[in-house]
Structure 1
Amino acid sequence: MPLSRTDLADYSYFLAIARHRSFRRAGLDLGVSASALSHALKGLETRVGIRLLNRTNRSVTLTAAGEELLAAISRPFDDIEQAVDRLNRYRDTPTGRIRINIPVEAATLLIGPILREFVDRYPDVELDVAVSNHLVDVTEGGFDAGIRYGGTVPTDMVAQRLSADIRWVVAGSPAYFDRYGTADHPDDLAAHRCLRFRIGDDSIYKWEFERAGEEIAVDVPGSLIFDDSRAILAALVAGVGLMYAPEPLIAPLVANGSVRLILEDWAPVGSGFYAYYSSTRQLPTGLRLLIALIREMRPLGL
């Protein structure tokens, strides 16, 4: 029997649910309510006579049949998406939708500065940006690509450099230094109030320092732990504690005198930002244009 329109739509819904492992996230991706997806999936399972998903209040997993179906139809649907995307060559203005997952610092320092130009050049390309410092599997999450610091890019992905390497510095407000003094060596941080940071794998980041070949990682003290640099910046300016940060993030605060740097002779240089995406899929036109524009405008150098 030939596939009906309903079958094709429901198989595409199944793919989204299987990749996201969530009706809610799949619905957000597709612009369809979670209840509509659930109804469509039940109809598909009834027609094929096999359960494809195991559903609980907390999780969605694939049955063995669902895993087999996902493996069988993922490539054909990807081929269709790529074929439609290639039609952009025949349009005066590219169209399409791209979804990327990026950390807070990349949103502020890398994507923000190029957005106006991107929209002006490509008004028909929809850019969906998920900002999160948690490490995610961009393929399973339904993203076209992610942006991360070079050292955290998965090794099985294709990566493109988007920025120059970045220096990491320690900063504090004048009010903080008036109250608690400064530090001349990383070991001196043991006597300070530090604003600690929870990174993507849920561990607390150790502040790293380097001078003349000597490398030190300090598990700094501090009663405040954040997972968002915007919250740390607010606490930094308020004089709550010291912050360890990529220098471009706090450069405006240094320039206007809101904060000062210390331990500059210990400041290490780390990998800059990279875009990464699956090696098994053709690069969507919109993503290719976004990467090209970032590399052209160089908001963080290159």
Structure 2
Amino acid sequence: MLKYLLILPLCIASVLEVLSKEEILRKPISLVYFYAPDCRFCTDVTPAVDYLSSIYNHNVNFQIVKVNGRKLKPLVQLFEVASFPTLKIYDNDKKSVTTYSGDRLIDLIDDFIAKHSDAQADLTNAITRVHSLTSLEQLNDLAAAKGVVIAFMDSTTPEWKHMTRPFHYFQELAQQNPHLAFATAELNKVDSKVVREFRVSNSPSLVFYDGQTVGVLGTFSANEVVDDEQTIRFTNLLTSKSIGTWFSNLAELQTHADEAEYVDTILLKPGMNAMAHSAKDFEEDIEGQYEQLLGKISL
């Protein structure tokens, strides 16, 4: 069974609270969230609805609203709400009410919205604690402020393809650790100076940097897996430094990585073995062709 979503990015404002049936009818289709202030399960759902409201309420024909079921019992009775929390979509054109019955996960509620409306999400309206890293100057500012955990990735990395969505584990880690800065660095967008600074040659990979101490996981070793479990462990164990490779400063990391490029087995940059074999095969092929040519012209 899918877990409930507990942590979400911060949103610009909470979902609109309505006080009457007329406010629900302001737009043709409404997702109505019935909650109660004393409902402990609602504390899990409210951030999800707030987030969805921030990315959907720009639509002309669709809105997300919430109803305090303790105060507005006539609306609770009208929509036949039996418990809290409850999510229902009301279509004023069809005069129909559809009750959501899935797990309390944003992506599933999002699917519910898509199934019963043509509303389009605008993800640029969502606020997140995860920075998009593009420059060395930005990196140094984040590191100096409180230390930063950076995820280096590219658009084809399966584990990180939902990075911009609030249910991604990196987004949750950012919410759970407000004392740290979190950033992603897309290898095709970030300044190459950042990549060179940490000798990054793997994706996905992680770096912790506070302006002095550096911790890395998977940056220059193809033998380390960076998935949800490892990312969470790396972040939660920064103090003990029990996962990853740690250096006192950047110069120490750079020396280690530069020397490791010449080791045959462990820390070669990803692809270097394959490139070396390819180059060797090419050289042998050219040499063979040259011998054949000499034979043909009797030299």
Task: Name the TM tier (shorter chain).
Answer: 0.3 to 0.5
Higher Cα Rg: structure 1 or 2? Answer: 2
Bigger relative CO (Cα 8 Å, ≥ 6 apart): 1
Higher percent of residues as strand? 1
TM-score, with normalisation over the residues of structure 1?
Answer: 0.33
Higher percent of residues as helix? 1
